[in-house]
């Protein structure tokens, strides 16, 4: 069976602000989230549903500067919206 067509990934402004605060170099920041975008466009259920019966999903990411990073998103049949990326000390 062929892979499903990938969804469009949209980075919300809040996500872009969070990402810039986390990784100031634009190219490094894009490289950091590229694999997550690829994965979520094809399998948005790869993350974990944050709350039962909710629509917010969480995808753990690699640590950055000693902080655990989590990507927050939602999706429908055609689109994945990335709306936050947060880091907490490990």
pLDDT tens digits for range 4-27: 679 999 999 999 999 999 999 999
pLDDT for 3 beyond 90? no
Listing DSSP states for 39-57 in one string gives HHHH-GGGSEESSTT---E
The pLDDT mean for the chain works out to 94
CATH number of the domain at 8-89, please? Answer: 3.30.2310.20
Average pLDDT over residues 54-81: 96
d(CA 2, CA 77): 17
Domain ranges of the chain: 8-89
**Burial classification of residue 85, based on how many CB atoms lie within 10 Å of its CB (0-12 exposed, 13-18 middle, 19 or more buried):** buried
pLDDT at position 5, please? 79
User: Would the pTM of this model clear 0.85, i.e. be above it?
Assistant: yes
């Amino acid at each position: 069976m062929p892979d499903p067509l990938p969804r469009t990934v949209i980075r919300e402004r809040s996500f872009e602000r969070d990402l810039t605060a986390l990784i100031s170099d634009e190219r490094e920041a894009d490289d950091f989230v590229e694999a997550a975008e690829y994965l979520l466009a094809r399998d948005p259920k790869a993350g974990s549903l944050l709350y039962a019966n909710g629509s917010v999903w969480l995808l753990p990411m690699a640590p950055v500067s000693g902080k655990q990073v989590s990507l927050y998103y939602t999706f429908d049949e055609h689109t994945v919206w990335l709306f936050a990326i947060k880091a907490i000390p490990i």
